[in-house]
Structure 1
Amino acid sequence: MTETFLELKDIYKSFGGVQALKGVDLTIRSGEIHCLAGENGSGKSTLIKVISGAHDPSKGEIFIEGQKVSHLSPIQAIEHGIQVIYQDFAIFPNLTVAENIAMNRAVSTGAKMMDWNCARKLALEAMEQIGARMDPDILVENLSVANRQMVAICRTIINDAKLLILDEPTAALTSKEVQKLYTILRCLRDKGIAVMIVDHKLGEVFEIADRLTILRNGEKISTGLIQEYDRKRFVKDLTGRDISESAYVPRTSASEVFRVENLSRKGAFENVSFHIKKGDVLGITGLLDSGRGQIGDALFGIHPAQSGEIFLHGKPIKIRSTADAVKNRIAYVPEDRLTQGLFLDRSIQDNTIAASIKKYFIRGRLDEKIMFQDTKEWIKKIGCVAPSPDPAIRTLSGGNAQKIVIAKWLNTKPALLILNGPTVGVDIGAKYDIHQMLHKLAEQGIGIIVISDDLPELIQNCNSIIIMKNGRIAGTVESSKINETELAEMLSSQ
């Protein structure tokens, strides 16, 4: 029988009277990949910090390899073999691969100078164990996201990790990089290392996990072997509701909302043509640098097209700037909501009215009362979990923050809504809410374009999908006539 490495019993943790964890039990076994799943705000991050010694639980017991541990500190956790890789990887971009991998070892031994020969040797040995191929002398800032993650994993290996915890490890990886990561994690598991992945992506959980624990609102909802779960149980335990995954079937209409003909921008895309009718949700996908994202930027005037024609409700329009796009009632939800879509330190109200502030000027002054009331109505309409319009955006979960980005643009009454990666970093419940919102908007006559590399999202929510390759349209498919595997093959073979 597989030995238990870590056991948590009846763990509570509160912050200022708010219970983040409520009597959570968790068992992690050596030589298994255990997924910790939960929506934003479920307590996953707090639980990781309890395990890593960053938070002392308000109540409960922690056992490591059968021994009870009191007041676990971060240093003690590392000494017990517990290593956490957060989303930022906690690496030094201005140091080399070898220096990053060997850094913790050098610090733990009290070395005052880095032994570069030893560092290179350690780095090469660690990379060999996981099958990584990197120049040990290259600066980490010059690596891809996937290879930076490999550096972080290598660092844990040479520090005798017995439990490796990865927080949302696939968030910034391509599908090929995800598969490479999974190969490495299975290798570590087979060597007897316990691996815990924090994730809420249904497909990924079923592919990689041996066991699963689901948290909701700070409580453990269920735990068990992955074979004990199906998609329906996973979603119900995660969200507390029954969510349908049926594909979007639009109400057909001959009324054209939007059309582009031979749109081109040198070095980005060429001769792109498509149209959107009332009820349509158009998907645009492709591999990195395929031109998919640049189309959205062009239609919103960030990097305008240099040639081609654009029509809105049959009338030609010119998009030379973002001001032109807004004037023509085109809205754009960018891929990076944190830096491009939101003012994190400003209130929900300030963000909601940011793109439509002109309409709130009455006799030369902003009408605060109407702004507040409109924001309250949007919070209710879009299902944002917030006590009022007053809190800062940074206090919201990823899903709720994304809903506010969408509300900001819906408040402008757009004719066309373009969404680039609309549910990146969003949990299943919020993802479902956003998809349902898009369907309703399309049926109301708003043109919807979804730019994404999330193939299930495209197939379930778009009635047609454009495939981009090297800046050109390589094909257009009806989502009802294709499955995820076939679409993935088309992307890789084009």
Structure 2
Amino acid sequence: MPSSFLRMEGIYKDFTGVKALKNVDFEIQTGEIHCLAGENGCGKSTLIKIISGAHEASGGKIFIEGSEIHKLSPIVSIKKGIQVIYQDFAVFPNLTVSENIAMNKALMTDQKTMNWKKARSLALEAMEKIGAHMDPDMLVERLSVSNKQMVAICRAIINDAKLLILDEPTTALTFREVEMLYDVLRNLKRKGMAVVIVNHKLDEIYEIADRLTILRNGENVATGKIGEFDRNRFIQCMTGREIVDSLYEPAPSDEKILQVEHLALHGAFEDVSFILNKGDVLGITGLLGSGRSEVGDALFGISPADSGTIKLNGKEITIKSIHDATKHRIGYVPEDRLTQGLFLTRSIRDNTVAASISKYLKKGRIDTAELDEVAKHWIKKIGCVASCTEAPIKTLSGGNAQKMVIAKWMNTEPDLLILNGPTVGVDIGSKFDIHTILHELAASGVGIIIISDDLSELYYNCNKLVIMNQGKSSGLFETKTLSEEQLSTLLHGDITEMKNE
């Protein structure tokens, strides 16, 4: 029978009057994989930081292996066997795999110098335990994202980890890499380690978790075995509202917004053709390296196509640059909103008008009061939770920041909006809001293209799909003719057997 490794009773955490956690009970058993879920701002990160000793609880009790811990500092947490792997993995890119893995062990044992032979031996031992295959002498900066994560896990287990906490561990991983990670975590579970995954991707949670805890507004609203949560209960607990998945089916229309014929870019993709009618939401998907993102980049002029034709609203257009794309009223929401979609240090107002600032230039001057009204309009229309238009956009949650990236392009009045990974790192409630916005835009006559590898997102929110495989298009599919399982088969298997005629 599993025993309790960590038990938290009645945990409170206040930040200058803001109650981040309210009377939270949380228990982790040895030899289990436990998912901690909740929308952005629900208190997940605060709870993890209390477990790691980075924050001190304002009230409540913490027990580790049955003993009450009165002051849990980072050092005490590590010595008790708790290791946290955050999204950036906290690896040193300029050090080798061996040095990264051995670093914490050296610090914990007060080593004054690095013993490279011992470090290499430790690294090989740790990699063997989890089945990882990396060159111990390679610089970490040269590794893939998934292998950087493996380095972080190896570093944790050689520090005698008994509880491993991973914060959004699959955000930047491909389908195959997620499978590899889960194999590693199942192996650690079999050896008796407790594992906590912070995640809100339903399909991944059901694949890996034994038990589930859901936080909402700083409170524990549900805990139980994963089998006790169907999709509807999960979403209800997460959001506090009923969100029912249903296939997106637009009103039939013969009005063509976008026609792409035989589009090709040497070394990236070839012979891509599709038609986007009014009301359509077209999904473009494929595994990493399939060419899915490159098609979007070509349509927006980031990496222009070598050949093929593009017709927008019946008129053939040439796109050789981003300027060409914006001139033809094409908008693009990039996959990485932090580095490509937002000016993080600027205000919400400035970000809202960044792509349409020329509209507000009058005799060489800009009326900031007018810009404020524009930002307020979009904050309200798109359902963004923001204190004021002057607040730096970096203060927004992931979901609200993504809404404002979309608002930035909506303010340009686009004819075509391309969105690459529009809900990456966004919680379920915000996902639903974003998809609703996109469906409304499509119904109003804006062409919508979603580039994603999130199968549920594609299945329920796109009525047409283009599946890319090694730079080649499978042709055009209608989502209503597929099941979600068939879509997975198409993405990861042989497309020829199920291709629509």
When the two structures are superposed, what TM-score results if normalisation uses the length of structure 2? Answer: 0.97
Partner of 1:414: 414
Mapped partners of 1:130, 1:49: distance in 2: 26
Deviation of residue 489 (structure 1)?
2.1
Displacement after TM superposition at 1:364 (Å)? 2.9
String of CA shifts for 1:7-53, please: whole Å, max 9, x gaps.
11111112222111111111111111111101110110011000000
Query: Could you say which residue in structure 1 is the equivalent of 2:19?
Result: 19
Note the alpha carbon deviations across 1:232-281, whole angstroms, 9 max, x for none: 11100000000011010011111111112222222122222211110111
Counterpart CA distance in 1 for 2:268 and 2:79 is 50
Amino acid corresponding to residue 379 of structure 1 in structure 2: I
Any idea what SS the aligned residue of 2:476 has? strand
How far, CA to CA, are the matches of 1:364 and 1:131 in structure 2? 63
Q: What is the rounded CA distance, in whole Å, between the counterparts of 1:70 and 1:130 in structure 2?
A: 34
- CA 1:492/1:228 → structure 2, altered by over 3 Å: closer, same or farther? closer
1:405 equivalent in structure 2: 405
Match of 2:58 in 1: 58
- Following superposition, the deviation at residue 442 of structure 1 comes to 0.7
Q: Distance in 2 between matches of 1:320 and 1:35?
A: 46
Match of 1:316 in 2: 316
Question: Distance between the aligned counterparts of 1:398 and 1:260, measured in 2?
Answer: 33
Letter in 1 for 2:285: T
In structure 2, the residue matched to 1:270 is 270
SS in 1 for 2:356: helix
Structure 2 equivalent of residue 126 of structure 1: 126
**Residue 140 of structure 1: CA displacement?**
1.2
Structure 2: gaps of 5 or more residues: 495-501
2:69 and 2:143 mapped to 1: Cα distance? 38
Q: Distance in 1 between matches of 2:160 and 2:469?
A: 44
**2:379 maps to what in 1?**
379
Whole-Å Cα distance in 1 between the matches of residues 368 and 112 of structure 2?
A: 59
For 1:289 and 1:228, how far apart are their aligned partners in 2?
Answer: 37
Write out aligned runs for 1:130-209 (5 A). Answer: 130-209=130-209
Q: CA deviation at 1:393?
A: 0.9
Q: What are the superposed Cα offsets for residues 318-373 of structure 1, whole Å, 9 maximum, x if unpaired?
A: 21211111111100001111111000111111100111111112333212222111
Larger CA deviation: 162-171 vs 109-118: 109-118
Counterpart residue number, 1:69: 69
C-alpha distance in 1 between matches for 2:420 and 2:384: 20
Distance in 2, Cα, partners of 1:361 & 1:232: 49
Give 1:490 deviation, angstroms.
2.0
In structure 1, C-alpha distance between the alignment counterparts of 2:27 and 2:150, rounded to whole Å = 26
Distance in 2, matches of 1:235 and 1:268, equals 38
Partner of 1:241: 241
By how many angstroms is 1:484 displaced?
2.6
| Secondary structure of the structure 2 residue equivalent to 1:203 | helix
| Separation (CA, whole Å) in 2 of partners of 1:471 and 1:65 | 52
- State the match for 2:497 in structure 1: none
1:403-454 per-residue CA deviation (whole Å, 9 max, x = no partner) reads 0000000000000000011111110000011111111111111101111111
Q: Alignment partner of 2:39: what SS?
A: coil
**Whole-Å separation in 1 of the counterparts to 2:472 and 2:224:** 46
Post-superposition shift, 1:475? Answer: 3.0
What is the CA-CA distance between 1:387 and the residue it aligns to?
2.0
Post-superposition CA distance 1:367-392 (Å, at most 9, x none): 22221112111111111111221211
Which consecutive segments of 4 or more residues in structure 1 shift more than 4 A? none
Match of 2:459 in 1: 459
Map of 1:103 onto structure 2: 103
Paired AA for residue 262 in structure 2: N
**What's the C-alpha RMSD, in Å, of the aligned pairs?**
1.2
Deviation at 1:457, TM superposition (A): 0.8
Which residue in 2 is equivalent to 1:345?
345
**CA displacement at 1:194 relative to structure 2:** 0.8
Partner amino acid for 1:343? Answer: F
- Give the equivalent residue in structure 1 for 2:392: 392
Deviations 1:128-173 (A, max 9, x none): 1111111212111111111111111111111111111000011111
Q: Does 1:260 align with 2:234?
A: no
CA deviations 1:173-229 (Å, max 9, x no partner) are 111111111111111111111111111111111111111111011111111111211
State the partner residue of 2:498. none
SS in 2 for 1:156: helix
Give the Cα–Cα distance (whole angstroms) in 1 for the partners of residues 337 and 345 of structure 2.
Answer: 13
Deviation at 1:73, TM superposition (A): 0.6
Which residue is 1:370 aligned to? 370
Distance between the aligned counterparts of 2:403 and 2:129, measured in 1? 43
1:40 aligns with 2:8: no
What is the distance in 1 between the residues matched to 2:461 and 2:278? 15
State how far apart, in whole Å, the 2-side matches of 1:44 and 1:258 are.
Answer: 42
Cα distance between partner residues in 2 of 1:453 and 1:41: 25
- Mapped to 2, the partners of 1:110 and 1:367 lie a distance apart of 60
1:316-335 equivalence runs, <5 A: 316-335=316-335
**Superposition deviation, residue 470 in structure 1:** 2.3
Q: How far 1:493 sits from its partner (Å)?
A: 3.1
Read off the aligned partner of 2:139 and give its amino acid letter: L
TM-score normalised per structure 1: 0.98
**C-alpha contact (below 8 Å) 2:97/2:137 kept by paired residues:** yes
User: Which residue identity is paired with 1:357?
Assistant: I
Letter in 1 for 2:147: N
| Partner in structure 1 of residue 83 of structure 2 | 83
CA displacement, residues 94-114 of structure 1 (integer Å, 9 cap, x when unaligned)? 111111111111122222222
Match of residue 448 from structure 2: 448
3-state SS of the aligned residue for 1:27? strand
Deviation of 1:485 after TM superposition, in Å, equals 2.4
Unaligned runs of 5+ in 1: none
1:112 pairs with 2:112: yes
For 1:130 and 1:475, the matched residues in 2 are separated by 40
In 2, distance between residues paired with 1:71 and 1:147?
A: 34
1 CA distance for matches of 2:45 and 2:252?
44
Say which SS state the counterpart of residue 113 (structure 2) adopts: coil
